[in-house]
Amino acid sequence: MPGRGDIKAIGDFEPIVSEEIWNAVNSARGPSQAKSRKSASSDFPLRGTIRCSRCGYSLTASRSKGRSKHYAYYTCWNSDCKAVKVKQEVMESQYEVYLDSISIAEPILDLFEAAMLALWKDRNSSESKLRELANKNLLKATKRLEVLTDQFLDGHCDAEFFQSQKSRLEYQIETLEIQSGSNDVKDKPIQVVLNHGRNLFSDVRSTWNRMKPELRPAFASSLNPEGLLSDGVSLGTAEKPWFERLIPSSADDVIRLAVPTGFEPVSPP
Ligand SMILES: [Zn+2]
């Protein structure tokens, strides 16, 4: 069995996580990453994501030299406002608190996973019926081509008729071969995708901390494309992150998901 990180196949379903996040999480799940400083943007991963809650401008980040050491700050660069100026480590620990607040409880993830697997199974069963039908027709068409060839060889039909019927049947066979083709490659990634989702959403702070620094800016802006608002003390957002809107957050939402019987999540032993 290949390691979980070895599977590169991508399903043709609507992605649950964007490719960007997928890649970021993959890299976060590898051996622990050295805290390399590869680019200026990875020095300040939240630049571009956090905005001033008073004026709405994006915060910029900079270092200033104190008496004996350098200080790094996230600041509002709007010269008419400048309401926010927060030390880098303070801002980034506020961000970690925010990440804790958007992590999703395991029981909710269990239900989400059960619902996704049920949908997946349902889709696969209708696909396998279509494949079965294509296989039946494929056998028929192949048999017909054999009979036609025999008739031609025995002199029962002329070359022109034989050629036209042969091309028609060959085209049919080619199409049916595609339709009946085993698609089992794309049946596999669903569990891999769900495992990744679980890794990502059950503890977003730890995902963030394990991630390569140069991937953090893209990850932060993927989570909150509209940005987060800072008043200097805490972080807030006008709307929920996209994945929280996707995943149920209460028992009522779960009932609305209508998990079919037989797919209830298994309680931990
Ligand atoms: Zn401002």
Residues 6+ apart with CB under 8 A from 258: 115
Helix (H, G, I), strand (E, B) or coil at 104: coil
What residues are neighbours of ligand 1 (ion), with CB under 5 Å? 52, 54-55, 76, 78, 81, 83
Ligand 1 centroid to Cα of residue 234, in Å, is 15
pLDDT, one tens digit for every residue, the chain (269 residues):
444 444 444 444 455 555 666 666 555 554 444 444 444 556 899 998 999 999 989 999 988 777 777 789 999 989 899 899 999 999 999 999 999 998 988 888 888 888 888 888 888 888 888 888 999 999 999 999 999 999 999 999 999 999 999 999 999 999 898 888 755 545 557 888 888 888 888 999 999 999 999 999 999 988 888 899 999 998 987 666 666 666 655 555 555 554 444 444 444 44
Ligand 1 centroid to Cα of residue 226, in Å, is 16
Ligand 1 centroid to Cα of residue 230, in Å, is 9
CA distance 268 to 192: 20
Distance of CA 193 to the CA centre of its chain: 7
Closest CA to 94 of 24, 23, 46: 46
Beta-strand pair 70-76/50-52: unpaired
**Domain ranges (residues) in the chain:** 17-103+204-244, 117-187
